[in-house]
Amino acid sequence: MAAPLGCGYGDLVLASSRAVDDEEEEEEGSQTPSPSAVLRWSAQAKQEISESPNDCIECSALIVAIGPVATGFIHTYLLHQETEILGMIGSGLSEDTCNTFEQTSPADATCFLHRLKSAPSVIFCQCNVDVPPEMMFSWTQQLFSCINIRNTYVGILASAPVSEYRSSISLSDVTVPFLRGLKTNQFHGKPVCPYLEQPNTAKGLPASVLTHCQVYRVPAVLYMCYSDSIYVEIPAIKAFLPVLKGTPFRDIVQENPNADISLRKLVELRARQNNLYT
């Protein structure tokens, strides 16, 4: 039997079936695209980018703080001087995500990029948003999209519950909270705390950022704070203090005489009424 005109051997011929409604097929075709993170620059930052020769913001150090403990630490010990908001990364359109530049309370679920007026080459990313896993890659891409990381040191701070930490030593013999570190090959030097031991792994957004730095040969160091409280507590925030003696933090830090007061206010702001335990 001769082949129908226009069809060659091996061509896929889709037979239409009376059993299937054509309209259903159309609906299947138009699936909602997977959401991606969006970086929005402030008006001033946009101008700076447009005026720069390589359409990038110059940066000698990028500090990424993920989660309330890490952002609380950066807020108290590094961002206590005058800062400006460069931009924000939005990752979602649910009711409780903040997508404007106006919501600046430390307890809001925001992700702002800050810069110290006294040290304009240092950029801080304060991420208090729970970035969903499917957006982590695009979030990382967006973060590094307009920042010139050729001569940049990256410092990543994050926290995790100690129940996820696996160790041959019993946890009752370990002082909690504690720090563990990981670094990229390009980071010459050691973290200020022990390395994260096997079989533990860094997960989520901190891992995504560190991996990006490893792939693009950026010197980066990740500090994970393991704490036993699901609430933000002062000991967990203070556990990050040794980090201030290491690169890239030691060149940026300036003493904050009101650190303890600031910490207490932050913890009170975030304290949820815990009546479960007495």
Contact residues: other proteins, CB under 8 A = 172, 228-229, 271, 273, 275-278
Distance CA 250, CA 102 (A): 31
- The distance of closest approach from Cβ of residue 208 to other proteins in the complex, given in angstroms and rounded to an integer, is 26
Of 49 and 259, which CB lies nearer to other proteins in the complex structure?
A: 259
User: In the chain, what is the straight-line distance between the N-terminal and C-terminal CA atoms, in Å?
Assistant: 85
Neighbouring C-beta atoms of residue 149, cutoff 10 Å:
19
- The distance of closest approach from Cβ of residue 202 to other proteins in the complex, given in angstroms and rounded to an integer, is 21
Of 105 and 275, which CB lies nearer to other proteins in the complex structure?
A: 275
Task: Look up residue 110 and give its two tokens.
Answer: 């925001």
Distance CA 135, CA 137 (A): 6
- The distance of closest approach from Cβ of residue 201 to other proteins in the complex, given in angstroms and rounded to an integer, is 17
DSSP secondary structure, 202-251, as one string: --HHHHHHHHHHHHTT--EEEEEEEES-SS--HHHHHTTGGGGGSTTTTT
Of 137 and 178, which CB lies nearer to other proteins in the complex structure?
A: 178
- The distance of closest approach from Cβ of residue 268 to other proteins in the complex, given in angstroms and rounded to an integer, is 8
Cβ contacts of 124 within 8 Å, gap of 6 or more: 62, 63, 65, 74, 78, 79, 83, 113, 114, 115, 116
Distance CA 100, CA 106 (A): 14
Of 18 and 272, which CB lies nearer to other proteins in the complex structure?
A: 272
- The distance of closest approach from Cβ of residue 175 to other proteins in the complex, given in angstroms and rounded to an integer, is 10
Q: Rounded to whole angstroms, what are the CA distances from 226 to 23, 48, 142, 239?
A: 53, 38, 28, 9
Of 21 and 260, which CB lies nearer to other proteins in the complex structure?
A: 260
Distance CA 98, CA 95 (A): 8
- The distance of closest approach from Cβ of residue 229 to other proteins in the complex, given in angstroms and rounded to an integer, is 8
Of 28 and 173, which CB lies nearer to other proteins in the complex structure?
A: 173
Distance CA 78, CA 52 (A): 27
